[in-house]
Amino acid sequence: MAVSGLPPYDEHNIFARILRGEIPNKTVYEDEWALAFHDIAPQAPVHVLVIPKRPYCSFADFSAHASDAEIAGFTRAVGHVARTLGLESAGYRLLANMGANAGQEVPHFHMHLFAGRPLGPMLNRPG
């Protein structure tokens, strides 16, 4: 599903391989629409990635091409993970990197969920 200005979806990216069961993951939650698993290099005591099951490179791609049911299912999966991990009272951060300026490493749309300590300012201040 090419989006203007973006390369087509790369079927060999690491999250596509996880979804095909080619490499293992530490699953936190799975349903028809989404898979949530622990990040391999956690940047907070809780660092979970939530990915849609179908192939989208970016939020632009996902929001333009996913069905209403997929968008609802993915959004509910993110909320379900936060609730079931007990993160609501202390708080948590959702973050999605898109493209080079955001430092996106894996070209399959994903939401990071960080928690477990005060997470500091949203962005590094310009130095």
Catalytic residues: 110
User: Of 4, 105, 121, 125, which lies in the binding site for ligand AMP, with binding defined by CB under 6 A?
Assistant: 105
Q: Is residue 97 a contact point for ligand AMP (CB under 6 A)?
A: yes
Q: Helices (DSSP H) in the chain: which residue ranges?
A: 14-19, 59-65, 68-84
Residue 99 CB coordination number (10 Å) = 14
Q: Is residue 68 a contact point for ligand AMP (CB under 6 A)?
A: no
Residue with smaller CB distance to ligand AMP, 73 or 99: 99
CB of 121 to ligand AMP, least distance (A): 18
Q: What is the x/- site pattern for ligand AMP, positions 1-40, by CB under 6 A?
A: -------------x--------x-x-------------xx
Nearest to 112 by CA among 38, 13, 31, 6: 38
DSSP H/E element including 113: strand 111-115
Q: Is residue 41 a contact point for ligand AMP (CB under 6 A)?
A: yes
- What is 11-39 written as a DSSP string? TTSHHHHHHTTSS---EEEE-SSEEEEE-
Residues that bind ligand AMP (CB under 6 A): 14, 23, 25, 39-41, 49, 97, 103-106
